[in-house]
Structure 1
Amino acid sequence: MFESPEASMITVGILTALAFALRFYKINHPDQVVFDEVHFGKFASYYILREYYFDVHPPFAKLLFGLAGWFVGFDGHFSFEDIGDSYTENHVPYVGMRALPAILGSLTIPVIYGIMKESGYSTIIAAFSASLILFDNAHIAQSRLILLDATLIFFMSLTMYSYIRFRKLRYHAFSSQWWGWLIATGVFMACTWGSKVNGILTVFAIGAAVLVDLWDILDLKKTPDMEHFWRHFAARAIGLILIPFVVYLSFFYVHFAILTKSGPGDTFMSPQFQETLAGNELLMNSQEIRYFDTVTIRHKDTKVFLHSHLEKYPLRYDDGRVSSQGQQVTGYGHADANNNWQIIPTKALPETGRGRIVRHNDVIQLLHVNTQTVLLTHDVASPLMPTNQEFTTWPKDDYTRYNDTLFHLFLKDAHEGEAWKTKGGHFRLVHVPTKVALWTHREQLPDWAFKQQEINGDKKPTEKTAIWYVDEIAEPAEGEELLDRTADIQVKEPKSMNFFKKFFELQTLMLQHNAGLTASHPYASQPINWPFLLSGISFWTQSEGQKQIYLIGNVVGWWTCVIAMSIYVGIIGADMLARRRGITPIEPPVLNRLWNNAGFFVIIWFIHYFPFFLMNRQLFIHHYLPSHLASALVAGAVLNFVLSDTINYPISIRGLRTRAQPTQYAELGVKAPIVVGLFAIAMMACLVYLAPLTYGTPGLTGEQVNAHRLLSSWTLHFAAKTTAEI
């Protein structure tokens, strides 16, 4: 009775209704900014205000949040500054914005059900896999907040569903339906990739499956005509490469088309990019720099000023190395007279006019105004990095080390003779004799340098972080009027820039900054811990009433998935080992399903999980959610094998065949619903028990917090002290 279309429709209807109920339950609580809503809510406001921002993730999911915010009447003026900021007091229609991920998270459940049904599994098995996500606390928590993961997982599941529908039509290749599901796979894959940076793993997973598919088509027995193979190859190239890339590009086209005003993301971009934004400082206040101007110079990434003061480097550092005992050159984060440097020419100049403008490729000196010494670097190790050179200064009237004070000015992406300008004239300063680049990093010097930032010479002159810019002209050159020189160059209207140049510049920056997210975080965790739920993330706390949201999965469901993955590996491994000894323990129909259906899910799980072991950036348990979804599908396949395939198919050992008796089929019809029903009850019990940590209400006493810490490694707030701690 469980396999009739009516039963299937009723089942998926119940699952979907439960999904909406669980994800919309008290979605208005808390009425405060929670965890990364500080980022993604803020990005939505930037779309509404049309102000340019920078983020490491592609824009599709954030565009949807911006659209949802606009639709529910958000004016974009709430800034989402800090976790705990009140939505209610600031009249933010946050429930409407949270409804978007809640809807997508709810619709993921029928898609999972559809994946299992289209893969040939029974209604009860499909319901089992869907229940693993339906009743999961982590998926529920992520789907109720203004976060990207619900969008990512929804389109990932649609990608899998579409690809399975496409593969089922392999004997109807090039039919309209075949093309439709192929293109749908590509479009949903682009949406997954466009939702979050790790969505590209879905692209790799589908790519791996396609390579296996093409390898099978290449078989001479199946495709004697190579022209047929190339038709298949071309179709997949169009549907799974060209179309997804065009869709992915379209997200950025819309992104750039909306964000036309100057915003907080300006400084991440090149000067050419910044000049395309209305109201950008480069358009309004950029000044040409002339020799003998006194300027302040800042590092592009860390924003510290190039600084010097009378204090000297100590004779010996803590590790015993000897310094030059020269005047300290450091990075300082605040405005100060010791940040002023005068640009000294190394060539003959006219007395006045544009011939005195500093240009790309010029060789210059920098005079520290307060101490009347010139910037110098030499073959002496820097204080914190023995492989890099020390920067110091030298008296301006002592020419014995003149060559060591010469620096080549290289403007970034400049043409020959281009003028150096304030704000946007990003440059490298490369020492002429030693070819090291002026560079800094965030590590602070000891007390003898007042814990200011180290400046040193990087021996790789093209180092991408060795970029500086002139913040302002503190004093114009003698006889020059600062305002007069801007009359002919000040630009009011934004400039244009080729879309593809903007796209590739942003892609490069996204990759660089994503890789640079290496700072420690109290709730960061390692991938090996994720499947076992050894740690979670504190999303939000409220001392009044001792309420908190702690992202953690349903222990029953996650550990079931771990066991299922282990069983799958054991089954496949045992079968392969037995076949090496001439034993055929699993019949071909069953084995094919394990390899093809469940194997596809395992590929999805592996490709969405293993790459995180190779990353050095901050990692959190929510990065495992796509893999957890795949493991839920594997769990359904394993349960089907245990309850169905091992009974309904003959088992052959050394030629001895046995077949299940008719009574076993009737027994199976009772067993499967009972097993799945008991499991669903256990999942619901765990969900309800952990619900105060998922929904942030009701508050728990210290003893109740301890009781809800199912694993000792969970770092929950408001816990009561144990006897041992007292």
Structure 2
Amino acid sequence: MSSPAGSVRKRKDAHTPVKAKDTPVTTTAAPQDPDLDALVKANIRQTGVEWDYRIAFSIITLLAFITRFWGISHPNEVVFDEVHFGKFASYYLERTYFFDVHPPFGKLLFALMGWFVGYDGHFHFENIGDSYIANKVPYVAYRAMPAFLGALTVPVVFDIMWESGYTLPACVLSACLVLFDNAHIGQTRLILLDATLVFAMACSLLCYVKFYKLRHEPFGRKWWKWLLLTGFSLSCVISTKYVGVFSFAAIGSAVAIDLWSLLDVNRRQGALSLPDFGKHFVARAFGLIVLPFFFYLFWFQVHFAILYKSGPGDDFMSPEFQETLSDNAMTANSVTIDYYDSIQIKHKETLGYLHSHPDKYPLRYDDGRVSSQGQQVTGYPYADANNHWQIIPLNDDQELGHHVKNNELVRLRHIVTDTMLLSHDVASPYYPTNQEFTTVPMEEALGDRLNDTLFEIRVEQGKPGQEFKSLSGQFKLVHNPSKVAMWTHTTPLPDWAYKQQEINGNKNLGQSSNIWFVDEIPSIPADSPRLVREERKVKSLPFLKKWFELQRAMFFHNNALTSSHPYASEPFVWPFLLRGVSFWTHNDTRQQIYFLGNPLGWWLASSLLAVFVGIVAADQLSLRRGVDALDDRSRSRLYNSTGFFFLAWATHYLPFYLMGRQLFLHHYLPSHLASCLVAGALLEFIFNVEPVLDDALMVKPAKKGVPVAPRKHLPAREKLAGQSLLSSWAAVGVVLAIVIGGWYFFLPLTYGYPGLSVDQVNARKWLGYDLHFAK
């Protein structure tokens, strides 16, 4: 695979010069045969402005808008993940800070649509099924944005095939496989991000094809335009969801292969000097890496500029970050902690309190390991007297009212049992490599075991000598002798610990889940002057510092999405459409929205992927045996253009096998689009359709001093091409009849109406589709 579109041709209109395909570009062109010139001009006049392509393009675009916008106001209730992305749009409109694992671009588009229609964001999309009408939400405007992008995706697919030089039947087939796909329709009619993602991904493929077609005219205005538009499209993909990095992999692989070809000293177009090659490399690096990165940063800058008020996303950020938000409760209510205060310590990630009770660890755990049989120290999710700890200085001669400071050594006394917190070299219940936390009586804590009760307060991003505060003073409690950090997790302990959380000493001090904060200081009287709030000024942070912190939080929480979900699915089920996702149901009318692709279209596209691999394997085997079964044009088209589409499918699909997070059917939509491109390309390959104009221009490179000449017997080849074209149209007609039938059959599940009877529901349970109302 030497390039993504090795056989692409420029559109043939009256204003576009046509060159012989693969004719070497030299400073002095070889003389052209007069008969060939006449034939080219005649073909241009006959073709005109490719009216057949333009008519098909217009009809398909119209159908795309009809299928995406038809009945878009139904249902007038919150559907599936609209609870998330509708809510985020409302937060933008209210300027309230929120946290999400996806970059901001797609959500900003929803907020922009809400702003256009004058919506104030008062509705927060709390529950599936909440009424839009009763809450006066302009939900149709919200849904219109992804529907608009989803509709535009279909003509973009058509244009990719058109720009790649494929015949009209191939263009129609690829576009219609997306046009009449229930999954693409269903996902683009709701307030979801995937329409933006898929549209930007398709645009990146189209722009790169148009850029590659200008490879013989480097550094011209159009060359730069399509290079930069490719980069911008890629930035939109990754700025919508992080899986957009797969589009970078697809385009980046093609670019790498192209650069490798440019480096070849035996290029037909002439060898490039290393400085010239360096210019090509730098131009692509700027257009496809640097520019997209700056656009990616720009959307985060907009995100921070809009969200300046404290909100539900505060807890995911550091106190330093929260101080940049107005009305932040954590920083406004923080209190300096004094020695001998009674405090409640809470884990930032699990929100469990540091807790102890008189019960002991068992002598032996289930795996046979022996414990210390000391008093249990656990994590407890509710407020309780056993969560109270007194913070005591290293030396008892500290005066009352002395502030606790960062990096000081302290001891923690469990007030109810009058014991001292301790960690020692005994394995914890669940983690043999982590240390056990327990408490010991005061006489032991003040005697031989004093050192084991010493802990260092390490305030996150704190300065030496900084005062330790409640709420905002997030910290790690590090055991001084052994240098382990107090840590907890959500896996409950057995019944002997009442299924509370395990507390242990984590040797990995840098782990972000080691962070705790003081939630409350119960010992402070209500009328204490320490509780008087001073007017707080909103602080500022450099943009890059905020951006880095948010990136870390987004990646961490994205990777933490590993819990099971009833509609999650594995990647191997996607190409075969073994199951879908229930989006919405209405019991009274027996209506439901079930996210499912068009099975007939998906199975065809998946089958042709296997056919492509088989054809390439057979061709390689034949070549190894000295049999050349393909002409140059067919092989170039198969490996370069169809191979590029297959590469796009693979790079958008195969990486999901490496992921441990929740995965759903919608993750396959970009790959499905690429598989539709492969399907259209293989249609042309199978029927061996060669456009008439391309036949006239299929000339071999001229030898020095010898003019190029057209192929012989053009009328016979034209007749054969016409027969192949008719055969491909017949195949497209049969395929589309089947695909449209499947689309229509599953429409009630895509649009959510009409309601279906039991027999009608069961008739649509082709595979493992867990449809509602089947009884």
TM class by shorter-chain length?
Answer: over 0.9
Written as runs of structure 1 = structure 2, the 5 A alignment for 1:408-419 is 408-419=456-467
Q: Residues 172 and 483 (structure 1 numbering): CA distance in 2 closer, same or farther, change over 3 Å?
A: farther
Aligned twin of 1:388: 434
Aligned twin of 1:273: 321
Q: Distance in 2 between matches of 1:599 and 1:482?
A: 75
Q: Distance in 1 between matches of 2:191 and 2:691?
A: 46
Residue type of the partner of 2:629?
P
Aligned twin of 2:504: 456
Aligned twin of 1:74: 119
Q: Distance in 1 between matches of 2:205 and 2:690?
A: 27
Task: Report the secondary structure of 1:171's partner residue.
Answer: coil
Q: 2:556 aligns with which of 508, 512, 528?
A: 512
Aligned twin of 1:250: 298
Q: 2:134 aligns with which of 71, 77, 89?
A: 89
Q: Distance in 1 between matches of 2:566 and 2:94?
A: 33
Moved more, 261-270 or 596-605: 596-605
Q: Distance in 2 between matches of 1:206 and 1:570?
A: 24
Shift of 1:484: 2.8
Q: Distance in 1 between matches of 2:265 and 2:522?
A: 76
* Aligned Cα root-mean-square deviation (Å): 2.1
Q: 1:525 aligns with which of 569, 584, 592?
A: 569
Aligned twin of 2:22: none
Q: 1:622 aligns with which of 643, 658, 666?
A: 666
1:629-673 alpha-carbon deviations (Å, 9 max, x no partner): 0111011111110122499999xxxxxx99976543332232222
Task: Report the secondary structure of 1:298's partner residue.
Answer: strand
Shift of 1:678: 2.0
1:375-415 alpha-carbon deviations (Å, 9 max, x no partner): 11222222233332221111123323211111122111122
Q: Is the 8 A contact 1:186 1:241 kept in 2?
A: yes
Q: Residues 213 and 662 (structure 1 numbering): CA distance in 2 closer, same or farther, change over 3 Å?
A: closer
Q: Which runs of 5+ in 1 are unaligned?
A: 651-656, 721-726
TM-score, with length taken from structure 2: 0.88
1:632 equivalent to 2:676? Answer yes
Aligned twin of 1:688: 744
1:106 equivalent to 2:151? Answer yes
Aligned twin of 1:439: 487
Q: Is the 8 A contact 1:436 1:461 kept in 2?
A: yes
1:59-91 alpha-carbon deviations (Å, 9 max, x no partner): 000000111122223221111111111111111
Q: Is the 8 A contact 1:19 1:109 kept in 2?
A: yes
Aligned twin of 1:654: none
Q: Distance in 2 between matches of 1:343 and 1:152?
A: 51
Q: Is the 8 A contact 1:286 1:490 kept in 2?
A: no
Task: Report the secondary structure of 2:165's partner residue.
Answer: coil
Q: Residues 658 and 384 (structure 1 numbering): CA distance in 2 closer, same or farther, change over 3 Å?
A: farther
Q: Distance in 1 between matches of 2:507 and 2:282?
A: 47
Written as runs of structure 1 = structure 2, the 5 A alignment for 1:482-497 is 483-485=528-530, 490=534, 492-497=536-541
Q: 1:12 aligns with which of 34, 51, 57?
A: 57
Moved more, 660-669 or 303-312: 660-669
TM-score, with length taken from structure 1: 0.94
Q: Which runs of 5+ in 2 are unaligned?
A: 1-45, 699-711
Q: 1:156 aligns with which of 196, 201, 204?
A: 201
1:718 equivalent to 2:773? Answer yes
Shift of 1:291: 1.0
Task: Report the secondary structure of 2:688's partner residue.
Answer: helix
Shift of 1:701: 1.9
Shift of 1:3: 8.9
Q: Distance in 2 between matches of 1:359 and 1:119?
A: 67
Shift of 1:705: 1.1
Q: Residues 609 and 482 (structure 1 numbering): CA distance in 2 closer, same or farther, change over 3 Å?
A: farther
Q: Is the 8 A contact 1:590 1:645 kept in 2?
A: no
Moved more, 246-255 or 657-666: 657-666
Q: Distance in 1 between matches of 2:537 and 2:383?
A: 31
1:597-628 alpha-carbon deviations (Å, 9 max, x no partner): 11111111111111100011111111010000
Task: Report the secondary structure of 2:486's partner residue.
Answer: strand
Aligned twin of 1:142: 187
Q: 1:700 aligns with which of 749, 752, 756?
A: 756
Residue type of the partner of 2:577?
L
Q: Is the 8 A contact 2:424 2:436 kept in 1?
A: yes
Task: Report the secondary structure of 2:216's partner residue.
Answer: helix
Q: 2:366 aligns with which of 318, 331, 354?
A: 318
Aligned twin of 1:539: 583
Q: Distance in 1 between matches of 2:284 and 2:435?
A: 53
Q: Distance in 1 between matches of 2:393 and 2:240?
A: 51
Q: Is the 8 A contact 2:338 2:403 kept in 1?
A: yes
1:422-479 alpha-carbon deviations (Å, 9 max, x no partner): 1121111111222221111001122222221111122222222111111121114xxx
Question: Share of identical aligned residues, percent?
Answer: 52
Q: Is the 8 A contact 1:283 1:494 kept in 2?
A: no
1:33 equivalent to 2:78? Answer yes
Task: Report the secondary structure of 2:364's partner residue.
Answer: coil
1:90-115 alpha-carbon deviations (Å, 9 max, x no partner): 11111110000000000001111110
1:146-187 alpha-carbon deviations (Å, 9 max, x no partner): 000000000111111111111101111010111111111111
Shift of 1:417: 1.4
Written as runs of structure 1 = structure 2, the 5 A alignment for 1:585-600 is 585-600=629-644
Task: Report the secondary structure of 2:97's partner residue.
Answer: coil
1:341 equivalent to 2:397? Answer no
Q: 1:582 aligns with which of 623, 626, 639?
A: 626
The count of corresponding residues between Structure 1 and Structure 2 is 707
Deviating runs (4+, > 6 A) in structure 1? 646-650, 657-660
Q: Distance in 1 between matches of 2:312 and 2:469?
A: 21
Residue type of the partner of 2:284?
R
Q: Is the 8 A contact 2:100 2:554 kept in 1?
A: yes
Aligned twin of 2:262: 217
Residue type of the partner of 1:26?
G
Written as runs of structure 1 = structure 2, the 5 A alignment for 1:471-482 is 471-476=519-524
Aligned twin of 1:642: 686
Aligned twin of 2:410: 364
Q: 2:724 aligns with which of 643, 657, 668?
A: 668
Q: Distance in 2 between matches of 1:209 and 1:294?
A: 63
Written as runs of structure 1 = structure 2, the 5 A alignment for 1:390-409 is 390-398=436-444, 399-409=447-457
Shift of 1:272: 0.7
Aligned twin of 2:160: 115
Task: Report the secondary structure of 1:215's partner residue.
Answer: helix
Moved more, 636-645 or 340-349: 340-349
Aligned twin of 1:172: 217
Q: 1:551 aligns with which of 591, 595, 599?
A: 595
1:358-390 alpha-carbon deviations (Å, 9 max, x no partner): 122111111111111111122222223333222
Q: Distance in 2 between matches of 1:443 and 1:125?
A: 54
Q: Distance in 1 between matches of 2:404 and 2:400?
A: 13
1:231 equivalent to 2:279? Answer yes
1:663-693 alpha-carbon deviations (Å, 9 max, x no partner): 4333223222222122112111111111111
Residue type of the partner of 1:383?
P
Residue type of the partner of 1:567?
V
1:240-294 alpha-carbon deviations (Å, 9 max, x no partner): 1111111110000000000000011101011111110001123311111111111
Residue type of the partner of 1:641?
F
Residue type of the partner of 2:417?
T
Q: Distance in 1 between matches of 2:323 and 2:430?
A: 37
Residue type of the partner of 1:459?
K
Q: Is the 8 A contact 1:2 1:123 kept in 2?
A: no
Aligned twin of 2:356: 308
Q: Distance in 2 between matches of 1:277 and 1:325?
A: 47
Q: Distance in 1 between matches of 2:459 and 2:471?
A: 12
Larger RCO: Structure 1 or Structure 2 (Cα < 8 Å, ≥ 6 residues apart)?
Answer: 2
Q: Distance in 1 between matches of 2:332 and 2:508?
A: 34
Residue type of the partner of 1:328?
Q
Q: 1:57 aligns with which of 102, 106, 109?
A: 102
Aligned twin of 2:6: none
